[in-house]
Amino acid sequence: MENKINTYKKITVKDLNLYYGKFRALISIELEVQENKITALIGPSGCGKSTLLRCLNRMNDLIHGVKITGNVFLDGTDIYNAALEVAALRKRVGMVFQRPNPFPLTIYENVTYGLKVAGMHNKKKMDAIVENSLKRAWLWEQVKDKLDHPALGLSLDQQQRLCIARLLAVQPEVILMDEPCSSLDPIATMKIEDLMMELKKDYTIVIVTHNMQQASRVSDYTGYMLLGEMIEFDVTKNIFTRPSKKLTEDYISGKYG
Amino acid sequence: MKLISEKGVQRILMLTAFSAISALLLIALFILSEGLPFIFKYGLKDFLFSSEWQPNLGKFGIFAMIVASLWVTFGAMIVGAPLGVACAFFLSEYVPRYIMRIIKPTIELLAAIPSVVYGFIGVMVLAPIIRDNFGGPGLSLLSASIILGIMILPTIISISIDSILAVPQSYREGSLALGATIWQTITMVTIKASKSGIIASIILGLGRAIGETMAVIMVAGNSVNIPHSALDSVRTLTANIALEMSYATGLHRQALFATGVVLFVVIIILNSIASVAIRKRMVKK
């Protein structure tokens, strides 16, 4: 129930529909994401939770044959407005993917990637940002002596934290996480979860997970999705202790999915 | 019964596989046995580094033709590589996949056009344009480079697209999610990840260009001299063999085979480099 009042709606999704060709993958989605909170989207595979997440930074634009209706407001501006520049949006709304996907470059180059994309050349400034970002992702101590090593040589959870660091370097406002722990072991998962709790002080986080324990551990708000519909959205504690919908209860009690 | 027929099939297949390999070996043996004695007799240095080619006077220096072959091939690369690689990136990164799947086979059809047709177009269309606008005889190093550059496009485009598509989609998504444009993604990630395949495609294109004969004979002009400008008429190694083999005898004939040996060695080297580059890509993945 913490902080239910006095919050700022960072993202508002209104009547969002998404079609893959004729198939309606998202059905009249309504969602409000609070600033500096962690919002979790849960549901069985194929329920549309990743698709919804990818609507928030327009990653679905990359897929041919996708049609979207409805609105997604970021700080009150519709991100599907034709005048909006997608690259600029994605600098504000960053994404961490299911499988760690560092570039086949050095650790240093991975962190500076977003900066170079934005046109930064100042080496001193970049050095400082690299150190700061890696520290915030709790990776600095492990990699500070091998910044020029290939990023693909890191362990999986280090790679995932590198991907987070590379995102922090561009100072996004919102971080979208698409099952960020699904390829990690439990200890690495815990590290990422702790990191998320730390990061929400400065960032707004939306996470997709099929791990209900994870959602209940880290998130402040949880949305349960099924077959493209948002069945229930509430404070996490309510969803897991006294869901108002039968469908939600079935899912969290393990009767379904 | 089943077992016997299985063995029979295996033997027949082995025989066919063996016949392909033995054809290669026989060709290599034949060229070498005809060409090498000449090189020993005439001297490798005189053969490779003299540009006097006068078979009736017993002078067989192929330097001018080596230079011409290298220039024509280099020119073809200057024309074909940027066009081909740019086209490959456009089709794989900017165009919806289904359109790429229609256009790529269409481009590959370019490889099915007989080289004599390319030569014909070179003679009828390209050479007059060059003659009228830049001077010279028209049939020249420049015409040959342009025609060959177009001929190697399908090789470069097709193999480049394959290697670009082999770059994991997750790299692109990661890059775009950091606010990069498609162009930035290409120059900062995709090109690095697909580099070896693109290089291999260019080298294979070079191999095609250096070995091409008919189109080159038709458009290059065929006079034996070291070119001083792109508008000069040149004769390549391949053209030399094709032009003179029909009437050559004795030492002259052997000299042409020796020319073939030189070509053979060059192309084997190019192909080896390409296959190493391609294998490196496979291992990396």
Nearest beta carbon to residue B193 from set A95, A104, A166: A104
Spatial CB neighbours of B143, under 8 Å, sequence gap ≥ 6: B122, B126, B127, B130, B219, B220
- Quickly state the pLDDT bin for A2 (edges 50, 70, 90): very low
The Cα of B100 is separated from the nearest Cα of chain A by a number of Å equal to 12
pLDDT band at A210 (very low <50, low <70, confident <90, very high): confident
Mean pLDDT for all residues in chain B? 91
- What's the average model confidence in pLDDT over A14-26? 90
Structurally, chain B folds into a number of domains equal to 1
* Band (B131; pLDDT cuts 50, 70, 90): very high
Which of B178, B187, B194 should we substitute to test contact with A (largest number of A Cβ atoms within 10 Å)? Answer: B178
C-alpha B186/C-alpha B193 separation (Å) is: 10
Chain A: nearest CA to B95, how far in angstroms? 10
User: Do the Cβ atoms of A64 and B177 come within 8 Å?
Assistant: no
Q: Which residues does B210 contact at the CB level (< 8 Å), separation at least 6?
A: B69, B72, B73, B237, B238, B263, B266, B267, B270
pLDDT at position B6 is 85
Contact between chains at B179 and A167 (C-beta distance less than 8 A): no
pLDDT tier for residue B273 given thresholds of 50, 70 and 90: confident
Contact A117 B188 (CB under 8 A): yes
Looking at residue A64, its pLDDT comes to 81
Count CB neighbours of B11 within 10 A: 10
Mean pLDDT of chain A: 88
- Domain for residue B21, yes or no? no
Which residues lie below 8 Å from residue A155, measured CB to CB, with a gap of 6+? A188
Q: Do A117 and B193 touch (CB under 8 A)?
A: no
Which one, of B66, B64, B29, B35, lies nearest residue B251 by Cα? B35
Inform me whether the pLDDT recorded for A5 exceeds 60: no
Q: Which residues of B touch A133 (CB under 8 A)?
A: none
Q: What is the pLDDT of residue A4?
A: 47
* DSSP class of B221: B
> What burial letters (b/e) apply to B75-108, b meaning 16+ CB within 10 Å?
bbbebbbebbbebbbebbbeeeeeebeebbeebe
Q: Per CB distance under 8 Å, which residues of A are interface residues toward B?
A: 57, 59, 62, 64, 87-88, 90-91, 94-95, 97, 99, 101-105, 113-114, 116-118, 163, 166-167, 170
Predicted confidence (pLDDT) at residue B285 exceeds the cutoff of 50: no
d(CA B184, CA B182): 5
> Is B209 part of any domain?
yes
Q: Which domain holds residue B92?
A: 62-242+260-284
pLDDT at site B88: 96
pLDDT of residue A237: 87
C-alpha distance from A44 to closest chain B C-alpha (Å): 23
Separation in Å, CA of A104 to nearest CA in chain B: 7
Instruction: Evaluate whether residue B9 is within a structural domain.
Output: no
**Tens digits of per-residue pLDDT, B29-88?**
999 999 999 999 999 999 999 988 998 898 999 999 999 999 999 999 999 999 999 999
Chain A CB within 8 Å of residue B187 CB: no
B188 vs A contacts (CB less than 8 Å) = 103, 113, 116-117
What residues in B contact A113, CB-CB < 8 Å? 175, 178, 180, 188
Structural domain contains residue B3:
no
Residues of A in contact with B176 (CB under 8 A): 59, 62, 87, 90
Which residues in chain A touch residue B182, judged by CB atoms under 8 angstroms apart? Answer: none
Say if residues A219 and A38 touch (Cβ distance below 8 Å). yes
Check residue B124 and report its DSSP letter.
I
CATH number at residue B207: 1.10.3720.10
Binary contact (A103, B174; C-beta < 8 A)? yes
What's the whole-model pTM score?
Answer: 0.83
Structure tokens at B201: 């495609």
CB A59 to CB B178 under 8 A? no
**Sign of the alpha-carbon dihedral angle for A219, A225, A228, A230:** negative
Beta bridge partner(s), residue A42: A224
Q: Is B271 among the domain residues?
A: yes
Q: Is B44 on the interface with A (CB under 8 A)?
A: no
- B179 closest CB neighbour out of A59, A64, A114: A114
Scanning the structure block, which residue is given the tokens 């344009």? B129
Q: Which of A54, A113, A176 to mutate to test the interface with B (most CBs of B within 10 A)?
A: A113
| pLDDT digits 0-9 by tens, A80-125 | 887 788 888 999 999 999 899 999 999 999 999 999 998 888 899 9
Task: Convert the pLDDT of each residue in B176-224 to its tens digit.
Answer: 999 999 999 999 999 999 998 999 999 989 989 999 999 999 999 999 9
The two structure tokens encoding residue B151: 């001929």
Residue B270 touches chain A, beta carbons under 8 Å: no
Q: Do A103 and B178 touch (CB under 8 A)?
A: no
pLDDT at A205: 93
Q: Number of A to B CB contacts under 8 A, please give it.
A: 69
A57: nearest CA in chain B? B177
A62 to B193: CB separation less than 8 angstroms, yes or no = no
**Residue pLDDT, tens place only, A117-167:** 988 888 999 999 999 999 888 889 889 899 999 999 999 889 999 999 999
pLDDT at A186: 87
With CA atoms as reference, the chain A residue closest to B183 would be A117
Nearest to A59 among B173, B179, B193 (CB): B173
Q: Is residue B102 in a domain?
A: yes
Residue B73 lies in a domain: yes
3-state SS, residue A214: helix
Chain B, 149-168: which have a CB under 8 Å from a chain A CB? 168
Selected residues 70-99 of chain B with any CB under 8 Å from a CB in chain A: 96-98
Residue that the structure tokens 């596989």 belong to? B17
Predicted pLDDT of residue B281: 58
Residue B189 maps to a domain: yes
Percent of chain B's residues with pLDDT above 90: 72
pLDDT at A188: 82
Q: Rounded to whole angstroms, how far apart are CA atoms A77 and A54?
A: 17
